[in-house]
Amino acid sequence: MCEIDVARYVALEKDEILDPAGQTAASKHIQQILKSVVAAGSTTGWGQPLAPYAQLVDAFLLSLRSASAFNAMLPWMKGVPLHQQIVVASGGATATTVPEGAAKPIAKLQFSASSITENKTVCIIAITNELLRDGNSNLFAQEMTRAVASATDTAFISRITLGISPTPSNGGTSVAILQDLATLLAALVLDASSKVFLIVSSDIAKHWAVTTTATGELAFPQMTPMGGAIQGMDVLLSDGVIGQIIAVDASQIAAADGTVELDSSGAATVQMDSAPDSPPSAATNLISFWQMNLTGLRATRYWGAERLRTGAVSVISNVAYSGNSPE
């Protein structure tokens, strides 16, 4: 079942006609899920009635992985709880092999304290109850997934690139692209545990996929318009990047993947605006969902990220490709 379907059924339940047993079609769908988890009156597996919602949240997070660079990198980032105090190192420790009786050098580290700040990414859509009842719920799920992924990536990239000085691009030829990649790698501080990702927009990935060498061969044969790999570095597409190539060592990023809340309401009063007044004023135009026969679907995602070292991220800016000359 789609992650938005339960909210859809709950939203529709108030409008359904009761059958002789006093159940609506919506409640039947929900009860079928719950019955498959635990028998009525059983005390075994007391937490299992929450499993359907947890599965829906997991499905929503899984759908984000294909649309969000943040989610795609999560398995390689250092997982920490939200609000956790962390120490950011400006450089790593070094060790030296010395002969017997020689003085041992002292490694120097510079630290700064930080914490994983909680970020809240929200997507709310308002639809008529008729469309909710008769429409394709996959459309709502796809649009909310895309919106949450894009907003998460925008805030995530802004956070990890804070204070990083970008280097202008050399151009769109195969030689210039390799020069840009060499600049990105030179600015990173890597070790044996590093996992490097390249985060780009769709137009850059499309250009890389068809860039050729001087002999007419593909310069990056593992690239596709939807991502791929260059020199062993996974290329991730993100709507949160415009005109930039961002190299990230995921092993040097601390991240907290918090909860996702999926909710619906037909009794809310909201301002139907993509940039609502905050706080509302006397001139704010508020719409009643109940009065207008509307239902709101809301996905709220809690997350956090912090760069652990300055050498974890590098940026190429002013990327604007034109043409496809290899030289």
Mean pLDDT to the nearest integer, 42-50? 49
Rounded Cα gap, residues 116 and 256, in angstroms: 7
Bridge partner residues of 295 (DSSP): 127
Rounded Cα gap, residues 100 and 139, in angstroms: 70
Give DSSP secondary structure letters for 69-131. Answer: HHHHHGGGSEE--TT-EEEEESS--------TTPPPPPP---EEEEE---EEEEEEEEEEHHH
Higher-confidence residue: 53 or 55?
55
CA–CA distances in Å: residue 217 to residues 83, 173, 211, 214: 50, 13, 8, 8
pLDDT score at 226: 92
Higher-confidence residue: 198 or 259?
198
Task: Summarize pLDDT for 235-249 with one digit per residue, the tens.
Answer: 999 988 999 999 999
Closest residue by Cα to residue 11 from 260, 261, 263: 263
Flag whether the pTM goes above 0.85: no
- 3-state class (DSSP) for residue 304: strand
pLDDT at 22 over 70: no
> pLDDT category, 221, cuts 50, 70, 90?
very high
**Least confident span in 113-117, 126-130, 140-144, 235-239:** 113-117
Q: Which two tokens stand for residue 181?
A: 């990649």
pLDDT at 118 over 80: yes
pLDDT score at 91: 57
Tell me which long-range contacts 122-126 makes (C-beta under 8 A, separation of at least 24).
Answer: 122/298, 122/299, 122/300, 122/301, 123/147, 123/148, 123/151, 123/298, 123/299, 124/270, 124/296, 124/297, 124/298, 125/296, 125/297, 126/270, 126/272, 126/289, 126/294, 126/295, 126/296
Give the domains, in start order, of the chain with CATH numbers.
5-79+116-159+258-274+285-306 (no CATH), 164-254+310-317 (3.30.2320.10)
Higher-confidence residue: 47 or 188?
188
